[in-house]
Structure 1
Amino acid sequence: MTDALAQKLAPLAQTPRLLVAVDFDGTLSPLEDDPLRSRMLPVAREAVEALAALPDTVVALVSGRSLVDLRVIAEHDDASPLWLAGSHGAEYWEPGSGAREPQDDPGDVELRDRLRNHAEQATAHLAGVWIEPKTFGLGVHTRRSTAADAAEANRIVDDLVHAEAAHWRRRTGRDIVEYAFRHEGKDTAVAALRERTGATAVLFAGDDVTDEDALKSLGPGDLGVRVGEGETAADVRVADIAAFAALLSRLAELRADRHR
């Protein structure tokens, strides 16, 4: 832990009510070919749990995963103190209250199901391509395919969505392109969580393009952390998940000192 980083953590340790909002895949858990096999590294889970156990400290997982899948990979049960924001901030789970999910127009749901079927049929010949059902749309996973097949799958589904649902939001990530009829982003999630928890400062961390919406939305007194490489609006960059877990653990220690 450098002196410069310790200085950036110090205000968060002292703030009256802290929100630690963290992406899951690539930030707490290694990326997996099978997305439902993702799990937090033990050091990351230990750090998250240490923070969540502190007074006036809220920890939230903010993910593009649907809420139901996020609960599976986070091993999140009804007694968990962790808040969840799924589907880029369109779905929430709040301790003590449970899930908060929007009521969707039947026409949007029908279009979602039709497009999923079309995308599955149109890409079935491409090895390693997987169409992921999402609550508000679909994702095109290409981690296990060749570069040529990935490009072809993305072209096919881009054309399908443009023709049938041009108003949908398109997002890119690592080996995935997502399409959704809801337009919330992780900046939406952080703003909602800040308001609902009464946070006086926010730490947000992520590793991918979709996390930049939230990183760019942070204000004075907040701290943004980028895990790994890539262009970023974050204040701090750490090398990998283990380094980020060490940062969280140090923040937990500093914040625990405040309450002694």
Structure 2
Amino acid sequence: MTPTLESWTSVRHRLSEQNKILLALDFDGTLSEITERPEDAVLREGNAPLLEALGRKPNIIIGILSGRALNDVSGRVGVPGLIYGGNHGLEIRGPGLDYLHPAAAAAIPAISDAAERLVADLADIPGALVESKVLTLTAHYRLTPPQYHDSIAMIFLDTVGPLLATGACRVTAAKMAMELRPAVDWHKGYALEMIRFQLASDAFPVYFGDDETDEDAYDAAQSVGGIGIYVGPPSTETRAICRLDSPAAVSAALADLLALT
């Protein structure tokens, strides 16, 4: 359920009062525009220098938390000195932090095998894409005609069914996608909490995201008095307490934050 939303002006005022800020952001749909194919996503023009300049501020720690593999998202952002979290925070790396969830590492062979089988099983579905991310996998259907969506879901669940039956993995939903993850109690919210605890327990957390998988991070930030900022249309329900229209608005907010600090 969407709470009463704060304006960016109100959020900006709250940020101006903080001594230290943990600034965490998703990548796709937040720092980049949503693309039909995951491999086509790029950092919005101008975001790299903004992140570099904000990262040089002594009172700001920046974390990028993505569903992409860690090497993938860190390569697409390309800004050194930041904290990067891949696979929804199952792997985190940056100055002062190097983490790989042990249970997730143990599931790598099973998920790799499932990815290979899904590529074959979805080969006849137009537009279906399987993204193997080592620790997780995602089946995308953004390019698939709507009449095939139910078929993709059935094939996906049938293919990964044995892993679900053993309790080794679980399925989650994302934008026009289904994801297979290790069945560990872990998500972006826990990743945000780890970064804050390890590197800046006194920092004010603010998290920007656009997807259902970001809701846990909004909760984590707001549970300690911070701010969750949803990026997207007003018709979408979210637990974040602020909303911005688009990745372009995120870029503007970053520029505003830079001027503020």
Q: Same fold (TM over 0.5)?
A: yes
Could you tell me the TM-score, scaled by structure 2's length? 0.87
After TM superposition, give the deviation of residue 11 of structure 1 in Å.
2.9
Question: After TM superposition, which residue ranges in structure 1, 4 or more long, deviate above 6 angstroms?
Answer: none
What is the RMSD computed on CA atoms of the aligned residues? Answer: 2.1
Could you tell me the TM-score, scaled by structure 1's length? 0.87
Which residue does 1:227 correspond to in 2?
231
Matched, 1:150 2:149: yes
CA deviations on 1:6-49 (whole Å, 9 max, x unpaired) are 33222323322210000000001011223122111123334323
Which residue does 1:91 correspond to in 2?
91
CA–CA separation in structure 1 for the residues paired with 2:29 and 2:204: 23
Which residue of 197, 222, 230 corresponds with 2:199?
A: 197
Percent of aligned positions with the same letter in both sequences? Answer: 26
Matched, 1:8 2:7: no
Matches within 5 A, 1:173-252: 173-183=174-184, 184-198=186-200, 199-217=202-220, 218-229=222-233, 230-252=236-258
Matched, 1:17 2:23: no
CA–CA separation in structure 1 for the residues paired with 2:183 and 2:81: 27
CA–CA separation in structure 2 for the residues paired with 1:51 and 1:125: 46
Instruction: Structure 2: state its 5+ residue gaps.
Output: 1-5
Which residue of 71, 74, 82 corresponds with 1:71?
A: 74
What SS does the corresponding residue of 1:125 show, helix, strand or coil? coil
After TM superposition, give the deviation of residue 82 of structure 1 in Å.
1.1
CA–CA separation in structure 2 for the residues paired with 1:73 and 1:169: 27
What SS does the corresponding residue of 2:78 show, helix, strand or coil? coil
CA–CA separation in structure 2 for the residues paired with 1:132 and 1:105: 17
After TM superposition, give the deviation of residue 106 of structure 1 in Å.
7.8
Determine if contact 1:136/1:182 at 8 Å carries over to the other structure: no
Determine if contact 2:90/2:104 at 8 Å carries over to the other structure: no
Determine if contact 1:19/1:197 at 8 Å carries over to the other structure: no
Which residue does 2:3 correspond to in 1?
none
Which residue does 1:27 correspond to in 2?
30
CA deviations on 1:48-100 (whole Å, 9 max, x unpaired) are 23321211201110101111211222124xxx021111111110111266x53
Which residue does 1:254 correspond to in 2?
260
CA–CA separation in structure 1 for the residues paired with 2:147 and 2:7: 44
AA in 2 matched with 1:242? A
CA deviations on 1:151-187 (whole Å, 9 max, x unpaired) are 2112111122223333222221112111111532110
Instruction: Structure 1: state its 5+ residue gaps.
Output: 256-260
What SS does the corresponding residue of 1:42 show, helix, strand or coil? coil
CA–CA separation in structure 2 for the residues paired with 1:170 and 1:40: 28
What SS does the corresponding residue of 1:25 show, helix, strand or coil? coil
- Mean CA deviation greater in 124-133 or 48-57: 48-57
CA–CA separation in structure 1 for the residues paired with 2:19 and 2:127: 48
